Amino acid sequence: MQGIIVKALAGFYYVESEGRVYQTRARGNFRKKGQTPYVGDWVDFSAEENSEGYILSIHDRKNSLVRPPIVNIDQAVIVMSAKEPDFSLNLLDRFLILLEHKQIHPIVYLTKRDLLRPDELAGFDQIKHLYEAIGYDFIWDMAELPELLDQKITVFMGQTGVGKSTLLNKIAPELGLETGAISDSLGRGRHTTRAVSFYNLYGGKIADTPGFSSLDYEVSDSETLNACFPDIKQLSQDCKFRTCTHTHEPGCAVKPAVASSDLAQSRYDNYLLFLSEIENRRETYKKVAKKGPK
């Protein structure tokens, strides 16, 4: 039989197949191969009536996240707050780089717009236009979400305190969940054993993620970083050198685009910041490697 793992808890894997969920375990040979089944994995499994099933093989994955460990994700809703905590273009771009790197379609959702003054709203209109022009979905009307979730595996992610659980509660009021209860329902509550689970909503499957205080976008070189900025990637096709870092090389097509406002200054600034972080990280690794083990 084939199915998708929808929950992992205490060594058990719950596999959904043709409308039924089967409790299974992974065979010992997975451990020998260094393989671990994760929520989102499509698997071949055996299951007999009234007995425990076994996962036999894991299909190839198209992507994966570490926090939480989920694979084969179609899209991610990045929940950003306008205030409390304050909106950050830097943090948004960090999320977008991670998702571009993992080939996960991003949807940006803005919460707490009611806390903005009229003059501040205009600034967010400009931000929305900027990211939509790049090709991202940027929404702040909750009514747009249900249609986007249909037939998709979606993760919700965001900085701690932005209102992810509140948002999920609002789009599924029939569940009667109070703020913060989504994580409990997924097995990550204070009084439950840690679990990772899918949650059925609007014809799709969703998962909450932990709140992030910091975020590693998992990019380790300038060429990958360039590819994770779709607007910069497109401009870079006209650079003189294929490996142009858009910092000092002659014939760069990106820097003139910033000067002419064809590329947003904030996007270029964040690109340079992330490039610096990558280079500093590599220098640190080199120093550690040179010292060798103690």
- List residues forming the annotated binding site for GTP: 111-114, 158-166
Q: Look-up: residue for tokens 């039924």?
A: 20
C-alpha 52/C-alpha 49 separation (Å) is 8
Phi, psi values for residue 287, rounded to 5°: -65, -40
Read off the tokens for 136: 């991202």
Closest CA to 269 of 46, 90, 101: 90
Under a CB-based contact definition with an 8 Å cutoff, are residues 218 and 225 in contact?
no
- For the beta sheet containing 204-208, the strands, ordered from the edge strand earlier in sequence to the opposite edge, are 137-139, 105-111, 75-81, 153-158, 204-208, 199-201
User: Which residue's entry shows tokens 């760069």?
Assistant: 252
Residue set of the binding site for Zn(2+): 239, 244, 246, 252
DSSP string, 53-111: EEEEEEPPPS-EETTTTEES--EEEEEEESTTTTP-HHHHHHHHHHHHHHT-EEEEEEE
How many other β-carbons are positioned within 10 Å of the β-carbon of residue 115? Answer: 11
Decide: helix, strand or coil at residue 36: coil
Binding residues: 111-114, 158-166, 239, 244, 246, 252
| Per-position DSSP letters for 213-243, written without gaps between them | SS------SHHHHHHT-HHHHHHHTTSSSTT
Which helix (H) or strand (E) is 14 found in, with range? strand 12-17
> Which are the contacts of 192, defined by CB distance < 8 A and separation ≥ 6?
184
Cα separation values, 36 from 40, 47, 55, Å: 12, 19, 11
